[in-house]
Amino acid sequence: MGFEVSRTSSAEKWLGFVAAVWVQAISGNNYTFSNYSDALKTLMNLTQLELNNLSVAKDVGKAFGLLAGLASDRIPTPIILLIGSLEGLIGYGAQWLIVSRKIQPLSYWQMCIFLCLGGNSTTWMNTAVLVTCIRNFRRNRGPVSGILKGYVGLSTAIFTDLCNALFSDDPATFLFMLAVIPFAVCLSAIFFLRETPPAATVAEEKEETKYFSVINVVAVVVALYLLAYDFLPNKTETISYIFSGILLVLLASPVVIPVYSFIKSWEFKRSRKGLDIEEQVVQPLLNEENAAERTEAVVAVEKQEEVAEAEVKRKPVLGEDHTILEAMKTVDFWILFISFLCGVGTGLAVMNNMGQIGLALGYADVSIFVSLTSIWGFFGRIISGSVSEHFLKKAGTPRPLWNAASQILMAVGYILMSLAMPGSLYVGSIVVGLCYGVRLAVTVPTASELFGLKYYGLIYNILILNLPLGSFLFSGLLAGYLYDAQAIPTPGGGNTCVGAHCYRLVFIIMAIACIVGFGLDILLALKTKNIYTKIYRNRKSKKLSTVSNGQ
C-alpha cells in the first residue's frame, strides 16, 4: 500500500513541478524593462538618470521579497502565488494603461510605486516555486534550480518573441501581456503546486534524475527554437503564427511526465485488483525490505529534526539549518552575498540599460539583444545547475567554483563591450546572459547546502536583496550618472547620447567589480570544501549501502 501511495504522490509531485516550470516561464517580466523603457522615456520626457531610477524602483520591489520569504513558512503555496499574480496584474496593468495612452501619465513617484509592485510580484512567484520544489526534490537541488531559473531566463525571450511575432513589438501590447498572462498562469498553478514527500529511496532518486533529463532536453529545444526565430530573416505573418503555435506546444509538452506517472500509478492499481489472495499475502512480504528502508529513512529524518530542535542553543555549523540571524553572523554568508552582488548587480545593469546601450551603438532595434541575453541566460542556468550537481556527486566539487568561473568570464564580456568593436554587443549580450544565469542557478542550491532548508525561503530572499541593491549601485547611480555626463539635452526634456564613449567607463568599472567577485568566490570555495566533501561522501556511502543490500 505504501508503494502505491508513493506512486500517486510521485505523479502529484511531478504535476506540481510542471506547473512550477510554467510559472517560471512567465515570471521573468522583471527583466523585460528594455522592451518598453524607451516608450516611457519619451512619453514622460525623462533623462537617462530618471529612467534608470524607474528601473531601480522596479528592482526595489524585490527588496520586499522579504515578506514572501517570511510568508513561505506560514502561508500555503497557493496563497503566495495568488498574491504575486495580483500584484503583477496591478503593477503592469497600470503601466499598460499609460503606455497605451488610455490614461494620462502619472506623476514620477506614482510610476515608481507601480513599477515596484510589478517587481515585487515576481518575488512571491519565485519564492513559492523554488522553496516548494527544492523541498520536494532535495536530493536534486542543482537540476531543480537550473531548470526553474532557466525558464525564468527564457521568459524574457518568450514574451519578446511572442510580442514580435503577433504584435510587431508594440510596447503597449507587450505590457498588456506582462499583466495578464502571469496572472492567468498563476491562477492555474495554485491547484497543483504544493509540498509533497521527497524521494526516500535510491530508485526514486534515479527516477527523478531521468525525468529531469527529459525536461532539460525540452527546455534546450525551446531555447534553440527561440534563438532560431531571432535570426530568421523575413518573418512573414504566416511564419509568425506558426512559430507562436509550435512554441506554445513546446511549453506545454513537459505535462507528458506527470501524465505518464499517473498512467503508471493507474496500471499499478489495476494490476493489484487482479491478484489472488495468495499473491496479496506474499507481495507485502516481498516488499518488506523496501518498506523497512522507507520507514527507516522517515524515522531517520524525524530523528534529525528532533536532534536539531533539541540543540537550538548550540551554534549551527555550515551544512546545518540556520535561522536568518545565525546565517548572517557567519563570514561565509557575507562572502556569498557580496560576490552575488558583483555578478547579478552588474548583469542587471546591462539588462536595464540594454535599450539605451543598443541605441548608443547605432542599433535601431534592440530586441535581438534582449532576447539573446535571455536565451543565453537560460543556457547558463540550466547547464550550471546540472553540471554543478554532476561534479558534486562525482567528486565533491564545491559549487562556488562555478560562480568564480562565471565572474571572470563576465569581466571579459564587459571589457569586450567597452571596446565597442563590430559585433561586440552580440558577444557581450551572450556572455553577460550566460554568466548571469550561472550566478543565479548556482547560488540557489549553494545557500540551501550551507544554511539548510528549514528557513530557506527567508535566506533566499535576503540574498535576492542584491537585485535592488545592485540595480541601484550599478544601474541607477553608475550607469545613470555616467550616461548623463556624456549625453546631449533634447528638445522638450530628456537627453540622448550616441557613441561608444556613452558606456565605456561603466563597462570597465563593472569588469573590476566582477574580478573582486571572482576572488570572493574562490575564497568561499576553499572555505566550504569540507562541506561539499561531506555531502559527496554521504551520498556515496548511501549508494554503496543500497548496492550491497541488493536493491
Residue 455: what pLDDT? Answer: 86
pLDDT band, very low/low/confident/very high, at 276 (cuts 50, 70, 90): very low
Q: Residues of the chain with pLDDT > 70: what percent?
A: 88
Task: Check: CB of residue 106 under 8 Å from CB of residue 57.
Answer: no
pLDDT band, very low/low/confident/very high, at 4 (cuts 50, 70, 90): very low
pLDDT tops 50 at residue 1 = no
pLDDT tops 80 at residue 113 = yes
Residue 281: what pLDDT? Answer: 47
Winning range, highest mean pLDDT, from 50-59, 71-80, 165-174, 427-436:
427-436
pLDDT tops 50 at residue 308 = no
**Distance from CA of residue 258 to its chain's centroid?**
22
CB atoms within 10 A of CB 504: 16
The arithmetic mean of pLDDT across residues 489-496, rounded, is 73
Residue 8: what pLDDT? Answer: 55
Residue 335: what pLDDT? Answer: 96
62-66, 85-89, 400-404, 417-421: the lowest-pLDDT one? 62-66
Q: Is 495 helix (H, G, I), strand (E, B) or coil?
A: strand
Residue 521: what pLDDT? Answer: 96
**Identity of the residue numbered 167:** F
Residue 343: what pLDDT? Answer: 92
pLDDT tops 90 at residue 410 = yes
pLDDT band, very low/low/confident/very high, at 150 (cuts 50, 70, 90): confident
**Identity of the residue numbered 226:** L
Residue 491: what pLDDT? Answer: 72
Residue 336: what pLDDT? Answer: 95
pLDDT band, very low/low/confident/very high, at 87 (cuts 50, 70, 90): very high
Q: Between 541 and 282, where is the model more confident?
A: 541
pLDDT band, very low/low/confident/very high, at 279 (cuts 50, 70, 90): very low
And the C-alpha cell for 309?
530542535
And the C-alpha cell for 143?
537540476
Query: How big is the CA angle at 124 (ends 371 and 331), to the nearest 5 degrees?
Result: 90
pLDDT tops 70 at residue 460 = yes
pLDDT band, very low/low/confident/very high, at 97 (cuts 50, 70, 90): very high
Residue 342: what pLDDT? Answer: 92
What would the DSSP string read from start to end of 155-187?
HHHHHHHHHHHHHTT-HHHHHHHHHHHHHHHHH
And the C-alpha cell for 495?
537627453
Closest C-alpha among 152, 220, 247 to residue 386: 220
Instruction: Count the residues in the chain.
Output: 551
Backbone phi and psi for residue 495, each to the nearest 5 degrees, phi listed first: -155, 170
Burial of 168 (0-12, 13-18, 19+ CB in 10 A): exposed
pLDDT band, very low/low/confident/very high, at 80 (cuts 50, 70, 90): very high
Burial of 249 (0-12, 13-18, 19+ CB in 10 A): exposed
Winning range, highest mean pLDDT, from 75-79, 86-90, 300-304, 364-368:
86-90
The arithmetic mean of pLDDT across residues 282-288, rounded, is 48
Residue 159: what pLDDT? Answer: 82
Instruction: Determine which helix (DSSP H) or strand (DSSP E) holds 489, and give its type and residue range.
Output: strand 488-489
pLDDT band, very low/low/confident/very high, at 472 (cuts 50, 70, 90): confident
Mean pLDDT of the chain: 83
Q: Residues of the chain with pLDDT > 90: what percent?
A: 31
The arithmetic mean of pLDDT across residues 115-120, rounded, is 90
pLDDT tops 60 at residue 363 = yes
Q: Between 127 and 59, where is the model more confident?
A: 127
And the C-alpha cell for 72?
513561505
Residue 297: what pLDDT? Answer: 52
Residue 290: what pLDDT? Answer: 53
Task: Check: CB of residue 512 under 8 Å from CB of residue 379.
Answer: no
pLDDT digit string (tens) for 22-73?
999 988 777 778 778 888 888 888 887 888 788 888 878 877 878 888 888 7
d(CA 124, CA 426): 33
Task: Check: CB of residue 506 under 8 Å from CB of residue 361.
Answer: no
pLDDT tops 70 at residue 81 = yes
pLDDT band, very low/low/confident/very high, at 304 (cuts 50, 70, 90): low
62 phi-psi bin (left φ>0, alpha ψ -120 to 50, beta other):
alpha
**Identity of the residue numbered 282:** V
**Identity of the residue numbered 294:** R
49-53, 269-273, 477-481: the lowest-pLDDT one? 269-273
Q: What is the pTM of this model?
A: 0.74
The arithmetic mean of pLDDT across residues 152-169, rounded, is 81
Task: Check: CB of residue 409 under 8 Å from CB of residue 515.
Answer: no
